[in-house]
Amino acid sequence: MGRWELEVIHQVGDRVRICGIEAKRLALSGFQVYEKAADDYVTDVDRALDAYLSKEFTALFPDDGLVTEENSTSLLNFWQPYPRLWCIDPLDGTQDFIKGDPGYSVMVGAMEQQQPIAGWIYAPEYEALYYGGREFGLWQSQNGQTPRILYPNYLDYAPTLILGHKDFQRFGSAFQRAIPTLKVEERAGSFGLKVLEVLRGKAGLYVYLNQRVKVWDTVAPLAIARTAGLMCCDLKGQALHYTRDSLDGESLAHRQTIVIGWQPLVETWLPTIQEIVQKIT
């Protein structure tokens, strides 16, 4: 178990789940929506949950650093030499939350030495909690029940490539023509929930190309994906990094494209996907 005790692991999961339950409750009671930037929205629910998680994680891990989406001053912590850094997204998929769609989640990820090492994702509308890390394996809890260890089936996944809305509009038809043996589908909402689609075998790979995703969107999903044995790389097949040359220094947006999937499909189709993207862009 190393430095991660099961009690602490499950405590983190409890905090994330409580936050998700509160998000679902607040969705029914009404909330205000604000525009942070073009096509980028926040609600007072995001802000309330951000404050709650910040308080809880500061109390649980007083020596660690904290980066949260809705606290802009916290972004500076990403470049500080903390032994461990927590990246918190209180509401991933805010637009789905605003529209009343189920594709939103609460995500918390831990990093050490500029790499994701553990992650927790809770989907409030599905009452499903997934978490995993290199030192403690992969876990799932449904409807608040006792967590159970997951063993992903590496040989059982749908031959499907999933894309977010904008990437599907731009590249979806070209991918489908070039790779007729794969079903190319659009998925809205949370980055983390799309990664879980691959983990659960509902898709073979997820490709993200528009380079707007931030570190709090990716740390938890990548930690879980790597624990599950998924291949995580960019379009060139290179490892994903969290270094100054791989991120925007101010916004912490990824400069790399992101591919997450089962290794046989990634290795087979990555050259074709890269070629199509180069032609269209």
What is the chain's pLDDT, residue by residue, as a tens digit (281 residues)?
Answer: 347 788 889 899 999 999 999 999 988 888 888 887 767 788 989 999 999 999 999 999 999 999 999 999 999 999 999 999 999 999 999 899 989 999 999 999 999 999 999 999 999 999 999 999 988 999 999 999 999 999 877 677 899 999 999 999 999 999 999 999 999 999 989 999 999 999 999 999 999 998 889 999 999 999 999 999 999 999 999 999 999 999 999 999 999 999 999 999 999 999 999 999 999 98
Q: Is domain 6-149 annotated with CATH 3.90.25.10?
A: no
Structure tokens at 127: 């009452």
Domains 6-149 and 160-280 share a fold: no
Domain boundaries, the chain: 6-149, 160-280
The 8 Å CB, 24+ separation contacts for 112-117 are: 112/83, 112/84, 112/85, 114/241, 114/242, 114/243, 115/242, 116/218, 116/219, 116/220, 116/222, 116/223, 116/226, 116/242, 117/223
- Summarised one tens digit per residue, pLDDT across range 16-34 is 999 999 999 988 888 888 8
pLDDT digits (tens, 9 = 90+) for 191-226: 999 999 999 999 999 999 988 899 999 999 999 999
Among the four given CATH numbers 3.10.450.630, 3.40.190.80, 3.90.79.10, 3.40.50.720, the one describing domain 160-280: 3.40.190.80
